[in-house]
């Protein structure tokens, strides 16, 4: 049991760090190289969400206390970040690769905006995940 918890938590933190870290970097770089990172980012997001669900199942029960509500807020922000990257960033990246620069520059801006919005959500996620233990 203890080993399952440790492995799940390590996978959760590693994938979350990669997802949030690349999102912060791409937001700062105006979405430059976002095409190289899109699939690994979405893969890391999937691992973070699945392992987060397993941790929830292993560690938390209803009714939710304050800690559970803080974690749930963080999880909601993570899902919103993934939705923005998938629904806004992905189509813009596709159009950008079809058109190329400079014709596709407005899609580059859209990619950058999606990474910035996702970065704000993930900042809230990391804050909630780190604070929940002490709530
Ligand atoms: C749907 C998405 C997510 C869910 C359901 C979720 C759920 C959880 C749960 C249940 C825990 C265990 C808390 C405890 O010790 O009781 C946890 C810990 C943690 N999560 Fe998440 N999480 C999600 C996304 C993320 C993301 C995207 C990140 C990073 C960007 C992240 C970073 C962390 C960290 C650093 C911890 C360890 C906190 C500690 O042990 O003090 N999580 N998460």
User: Which residues does ligand 1 sit against, CB inside 6 Å?
Assistant: 12-13, 16, 19-20, 48-49, 52-53, 55-56, 59-60, 71, 75, 78-79, 122, 125-126, 129-130, 132-133
- Tell me, what's the pLDDT at 107? 95
Which pLDDT belongs to residue 120? 98
Quick one: pLDDT at residue 16?
A: 98
Among 15, 43, 55, residue to substitute to test ligand 1 (most atoms within 8 Å of Cβ): 55
Residues with Cβ within 8 Å of 89's Cβ and at least 6 positions away in sequence, in order, are: 31, 34, 38, 110, 111, 114, 115, 118
Q: Specify the pTM.
A: 0.93
Q: Which pLDDT score, from 0 to 100, does residue 58 have? A: 95
Question: What pLDDT, on a 0 to 100 scale, did the predictor assign at position 39?
Answer: 97
Q: What is the pLDDT along the chain (135 residues), one digit of tens a residue?
A: 799 999 999 999 999 999 999 999 999 999 999 999 999 999 999 999 999 999 999 999 888 899 999 999 999 999 999 999 999 999 999 999 999 878 888 999 999 999 999 999 999 999 999 999 998
Q: How confident is the model at residue 1, as a pLDDT? A: 77
Select from 9, 16, 62 the residue to mutate for testing ligand 1; criterion: most ligand atoms less than 8 Å from CB. 16
> Which pLDDT score, from 0 to 100, does residue 135 have?
87
Q: Give the mutation target among 13, 52, 130 for probing the ligand 1 site: most ligand atoms within 8 A of CB.
A: 52
Cα 56 to ligand 1 centre (Å): 9
Q: What 3 state SS string does the chain have?
A: CHHHHHHHHHHHHHHHHHHHHHHHHHHHCCCCCHHHHHHHHHHHHHHHHHHHHHHHHHHCCCCCCHHHHHHHHHHHHHHHHHHHHHHHHHHHHHHHHHHCCCCCHHHHHHHHHHHHHHHHHHHHHHHHHHHHCCC
């Amino acid at each position: 049991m203890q080993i399952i918890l440790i492995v799940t938590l390590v996978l959760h933190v590693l994938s979350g760090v990669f997802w949030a870290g690349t999102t912060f970097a791409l937001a700062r770089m105006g979405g430059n190289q976002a095409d190289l990172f899109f699939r690994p980012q979405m893969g890391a997001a999937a691992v973070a969400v699945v392992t987060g669900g397993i941790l929830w199942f292993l560690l938390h029960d209803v009714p939710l206390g304050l800690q559970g509500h803080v974690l749930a807020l963080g999880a909601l922000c993570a899902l919103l970040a993934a939705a923005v990257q998938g629904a806004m960033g992905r189509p813009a990246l596709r159009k950008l690769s079809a058109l190329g620069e400079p014709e596709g520059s407005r899609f580059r801006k859209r990619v950058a905006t999606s990474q910035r919005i996702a970065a704000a959500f993930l900042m809230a996620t990391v804050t909630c995940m780190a604070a929940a233990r002490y709530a």
